Structure 1
Amino acid sequence: MTMKVDVVLFCCMLIFFTRCAVPSELTCRKGWTKLDTRCYLFVATQNSWQDGQQSCRETDAELVSISNEKEYELLQDHLFKTYPVLKRWWLGLSRDVTETIHAWKWLDGSEFDNEITPWSDSSQPSLTGQRAGLAEITSNKIRVSAENMDSPENLICERPLENVTTTTASTSPATSSTTTAVAITTTSLEITTSQVITTTSATINITTAATTIPATPSTPVTTVTSATTSTPKTLTSSVTTMTIIDAMRTTTLKGNVWM
């Protein structure tokens, strides 16, 4: 029996997590710009080429390597529209002077292609020494020029899209009860009491005057229900000692004064 329960529980948990695990859309980190299938960080702070590359690596990225014409056009359009004043940006392009041919290569290992990213002078520069590739915005176009690595320039970092998976837990809707306090304000309270006293020789109606009690805001209001007593009562000896002038006359008593 226990084994069956364990199997059922395991299956329920498996179904739950399978249905609740929702893969999110490939995206970029906060502050990064998504262009097609890559994420880019445009740093408008001047750094040397080496310092710029180190800054990119601290964010798990590299200085940008432009690998195809589509990427070139996307970057060109974004730089022109977003940073129209900034004209010079470090690229992930450098010349390795340790090699015999001193070839220009991108940081991703691919060879530089002048057909994709044209040189500013229409041909590969013949400058000697360690050089790095710089993107120059000229007439709304990106052109690559060779620059000394110590030159302070802006930089562009590049990294792949993030693949983030989030898990959502299913919960029952919470039930809550709300008690609404209703404030009742009473401006006055009127109490009227009527009694009928019957004697053997006369009927005396005793009516107390209506009393108005102003309500106090800070004092809780007590509801008083007026009651009418119609039960005949026989006067005791203390009442019969009163002189009744006219047996048929109605006498009204207010407070303790006879009228």
Structure 2
Amino acid sequence: MNEKYVVNLRDVAIYHADNPFGSCSEKKLLQRGEMVLSEVNLSVAPGEFVYLIGRVGSGKSSFLKTLYAEMQLLTGKGYVAGFDLRRLRRKDIPYLRRRIGIVFQDYQLLTDRNVFMNLYYVMKATGWKREQEIRERIDRVLGLVELGSKSYKMPFELSGGEQQRLVIARALLNDPQVLLADEPTGNLDPVTADGIMQLFQKIASQGCAVVMSTHNTALIENYPARAVLFSKGKIREVDLKAELA
């Protein structure tokens, strides 16, 4: 597969199954699972911004879960950040996730720790050892998301937009090759959502690909980018201007 892409999928089918990754054989998963998407072909280059659009239940979340190995890839060829999803073992998943950033709609922050310690905990858990390097990296990502003056705040003291910025900072700690965002502006007001979109554009301009699912057509109009439509079990690239006209 071509190494110039951070996401590269060829002839992929995505199945939804109520089985943890690697809990049983691919054959059994194929028998039990429900096919969500078929004939998926998609490549994303470093620094690209890609929207995933489509109705609720069209497969966007399942697609993202497959990219970060919450769901197992069973057919086709798939590479993310240099990892072969078909050959991925359970013990490899943490290493894959160090090369990607994941931003959820629900923030999943540690509510009993301040901003700094939320990030510190993740860095220690992902293998960072040297205190000086940890502190420098935290300062850098907090500066990028404009939370540098709020490192001592508890999550409940932050606005919704600030909490989402903290989630983005957490996703950037390990300098990922691609950022996967599942409805990241779904709970935010329009002005706050604008700020998050500007931040995503800045991240993409620095070379980290951004793949974002959204229902918000206003955001898409204001921040045009490449778009992939999920519909009737398939995906296809669309001309956003024509779709929104």
TM-score bin, normalised by smaller chain: under 0.3
The structure with the larger Rg is: 1
TM-score relative to the length of structure 1 = 0.23
TM-score normalised per structure 2: 0.24
Could you say which structure has the higher helix fraction? 2
Identify, as 1 or 2, the structure richer in strand: 1
Higher RCO by CA contacts (8 Å cutoff, separation 6 or greater): 2
